[in-house]
Structure 1
Amino acid sequence: MTLEDEDLEILECADAATGEILAREGRLDAGVLDVMMPGLLDGLELCRRLKADPVLSGIKVLMVSARGHRNDVLIGRQAGADEYLIKPFSPARLAEQLHRWFDEPPPLQPDIAV
């Protein structure tokens, strides 16, 4: 099973700087970021930048890492990650989280008498 099987459009980036460019081009609804990424910008810093920017702050961030200690998860959450998955995890678990964000029906609106 891969994410391509899940009816999700996937854009892959070699590094966080490329991910930031895609976000600024308006091409992302969510980012799956590894804490440790090649280059000068790691996943935590990219997450901080996305969440600090009013235009980009709505992008959901799923942080993934082999670092699974309680403090590591806390650091990811403090950086703004909406969810934190500890490696190893199954592709099904990753797809489940993405679908949870984007496949949920909108909240019910209360009936309003006119």
Structure 2
Amino acid sequence: MASKILVIEDQAEIRRLIRWSLAETDHQVQEAPNGSLGLAMAQTLRPDLIYLDVMMPGELDGIAVCQQLRQDPATAGLLIVVLSADASQDNKARALAAGANFFLPKPFSPAKLLELTQVLLRNKTQAPVDPEAP
């Protein structure tokens, strides 16, 4: 059965890279260009995995989306990978404190993204994952 993956990212190039990275899999990839739409889609679709950018324009950035998903019992258990060009320890800590399962710094390789996707979906872990792990 195909897993549902939601990509919440304002940069079209990054959304394309993620879609391309997962093209050879049977995953169903949905996309949202901002936090508000992404939050609504996550609540409706209940994806198996969410790739969520931290810095997005609009009223909801990735940290706020992650926090709202974790506060809603219907979406609290979703797997969330936070993406960010700011790979500082403070930014990683903020993402994990908001409830992210994993932090993936940009730029990332398609192979790493595919490997991470496979590991997370296989393990279906709900506990935060070591942000330094491959």
Please state which band the TM-score falls in when normalised by the shorter chain.
0.7 to 0.9
**1:23-43 alpha-carbon deviations (Å, 9 max, x no partner):** 111341211011011211001
Which residue number corresponds to residue 103 of structure 2?
84
Q: Distance in 2 between matches of 1:92 and 1:40?
A: 32
Q: Distance in 1 between matches of 2:57 and 2:110?
A: 22
State how 1:1-114 maps to structure 2 within 5 Å. 2-104=21-123
- Number of matched residues? 105
Q: TM-score, normalised by structure 1?
A: 0.84
Q: Distance in 2 between matches of 1:32 and 1:50?
A: 13
Preserved contact between residue 48 and residue 121 of structure 2 (Cα < 8 Å): no
Q: Which runs of 5+ in 2 are unaligned?
A: 1-19, 125-134
1:47 aligned counterpart, secondary structure: helix
Q: Which runs of 5+ in 1 are unaligned?
A: 106-114
Preserved contact between residue 50 and residue 57 of structure 1 (Cα < 8 Å): yes
Q: Distance in 2 between matches of 1:84 and 1:90?
A: 14
CA RMSD for the aligned pairs?
A: 1.6
The alpha carbon displacement at 1:7 in A equals 2.1
Preserved contact between residue 6 and residue 95 of structure 1 (Cα < 8 Å): no
Q: Distance in 2 between matches of 1:81 and 1:104?
A: 15
Q: TM-score, normalised by structure 2?
A: 0.72
2:83 aligned counterpart, secondary structure: strand
Rg: which structure is higher? 1
Instruction: Give aligned-pair identity as a percent.
Output: 34
Q: Distance in 1 between matches of 2:89 and 2:46?
A: 32
